[in-house]
């Protein structure tokens, strides 16, 4: 990061394993209760003035509003000027639920019945724009759409706004709600989804990812301002990086070359060496090629006897696409707060063809919090890595 330190002062989560950060943390311990990773108990009503406003907001943006509200409540009163407060919310697809619903409406009822709110509901920047308007944050309000790396990129980009001096506070994270018949069919027909609807990260019997929905938002602040106002600092964003495989639209580059470059750049940005990293929240989607490439990348960068503990929380959460990296960043902050690394639920059989990594399995592992890495790799060859440290 350029100059100024970046503190994390709030965390908000909406996830299939729990709504709210406390329920989310408990859910990460396993076992998996719902095979389909939807947020079944989510009620948007408390987050809107009336039912009409809620109906005019796509589910992915509803999730972002709920996560941001929880994060802001934990952060407390932020004293930065409105023009010094930014919003950066990533998504992989945006308002796909609304788009598909309205295509069906047009087909069945005609063009005149298509909602005039279709465009503002489906656009990928709806969550970022909506949050800036709701809270009066008048600094930059942007989003990134880099597939499954979007949440990680958004937090890294938001942290750079603070480190560079552009902003004093940023709402940063990711949100996704793409459970539509067409989306599921598309992923299924490209053989990306698990046939058994079961996530087994880094396991010999892994056969694809389990699609999920959800959101997570972190409140980032300039460290000295957060300290001065008496905020409880939860963690620090130390560095971030973004690279491209430039190899294939869906498959990772052979040997995890792009991931290696991204990890090394993130460590350089944080001013750390591989030996400093104590924990990795892996991308770990449970797909054959991606898990193998990531394990190889981790082995190349961190190989040796004193390796960081690795976990994939997607064994519980499933893969929430553009929200995945934000959920995993939230999991790292909570792991630091609890002094435990959650297990890789679903992993039972090591893959002998995969490079060995120190995978946390079975139950949570006690941990003295230290610098941690979060990996995200997306369709299009997008790589995102985030380095965080304890407060």
Is 148 marked active-site?
Answer: yes
What does the radius of gyration of the chain's CA atoms come to, in whole angstroms?
A: 20
Q: Which two tokens stand for residue 339?
A: 């002094």
Q: 3-state DSSP: the chain helix, strand, coil percent, rounded to 5?
A: 40, 20, 40
Specify the pairing of strand 358-359 against strand 309-311. parallel
Q: Cβ distance 24 to 212 under 8 Å?
A: no
Neighbour-count burial of 228, counting CB atoms closer than 10 A to its CB (0-12 exposed, 13-18 middle, 19+ buried): exposed
Phi, psi dihedrals of residue 372, rounded to the nearest 5°: -135, 150
Q: Which two tokens stand for residue 55?
A: 């109906």
Q: What one-character-per-residue DSSP string does 116-167 give?
A: TTHHHHHSTTHHHHHHHHHHT--S-EE----GGGHHHHHHHHHHHHHHTTS-
The single residue of 153, 319, 347, 382 carrying the catalytic annotation is: 319
Q: Which of helix, strand or coil describes residue 361?
A: coil
Q: Which of helix, strand or coil describes residue 240?
A: strand
The single residue of 47, 153, 279, 283 carrying the catalytic annotation is: 283
The single residue of 17, 148, 167, 385 carrying the catalytic annotation is: 148
Active site residues: 148, 283, 319
């Amino acid at each position: 990061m350029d100059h100024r330190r970046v503190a994390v002062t709030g965390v908000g989560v909406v996830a299939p394993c729990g709504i709210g950060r406390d329920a989310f943390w408990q859910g990460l311990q396993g076992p998996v209760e719902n095979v389909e990773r939807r947020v079944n108990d989510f009620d948007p009503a408390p987050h809107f003035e009336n039912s009409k406003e809620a109906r005019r907001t796509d589910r992915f943006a509803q999730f972002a509003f709920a996560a941001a509200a929880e994060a802001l409540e934990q952060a407390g009163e932020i004293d930065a000027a409105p023009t010094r407060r930014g919003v950066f919310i990533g998504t992989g697809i945006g308002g796909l639920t609304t788009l598909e619903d309205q295509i069906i409406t047009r087909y069945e009822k005609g063009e005149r019945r298509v909602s005039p709110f279709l465009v503002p509901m489906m656009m990928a920047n709806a969550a970022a724009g909506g949050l800036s308007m709701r809270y009066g944050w008048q600094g930059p309000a942007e989003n990134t759409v880099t597939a499954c790396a979007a949440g990680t990129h958004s937090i890294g980009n938001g942290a750079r706004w603070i480190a560079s001096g552009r902003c004093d506070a940023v709402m940063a994270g990711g949100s996704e709600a793409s459970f539509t018949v067409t989306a599921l069919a598309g992923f299924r027909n490209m053989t990306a989804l698990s046939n058994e609807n079961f996530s087994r990260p880094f396991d010999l019997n892994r056969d694809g990812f389990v699609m999920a929905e959800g959101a997570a938002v972190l409140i980032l602040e300039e460290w000295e301002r957060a300290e001065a106002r008496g905020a409880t600092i939860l963690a620090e964003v130390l560095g971030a990086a973004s690279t491209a495989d430039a190899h294939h639209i869906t498959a990772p580059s052979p040997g995890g070359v792009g991931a290696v470059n991204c990890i090394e750049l993130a460590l350089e940005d944080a001013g750390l060496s591989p030996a400093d990293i104590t924990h990795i929240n892996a991308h770990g989607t449970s797909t054959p090629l991606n898990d193998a490439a990531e394990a190889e990348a981790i082995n190349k960068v961190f190989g040796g006897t004193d390796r960081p503990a690795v976990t994939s929380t997607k064994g519980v959460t499933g893969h929430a696409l553009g929200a995945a990296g934000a959920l995993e960043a939230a999991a790292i902050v909570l792991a630091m707060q609890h002094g435990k690394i959650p297990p890789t639920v679903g992993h039972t059989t090591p893959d002998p063809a995969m490079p060995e990594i120190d995978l946390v399995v079975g139950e949570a592992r006690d941990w003295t919090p230290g610098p941690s890495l979060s990996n995200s790799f997306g369709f299009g060859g997008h790589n995102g890595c985030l380095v965080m440290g304890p407060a």
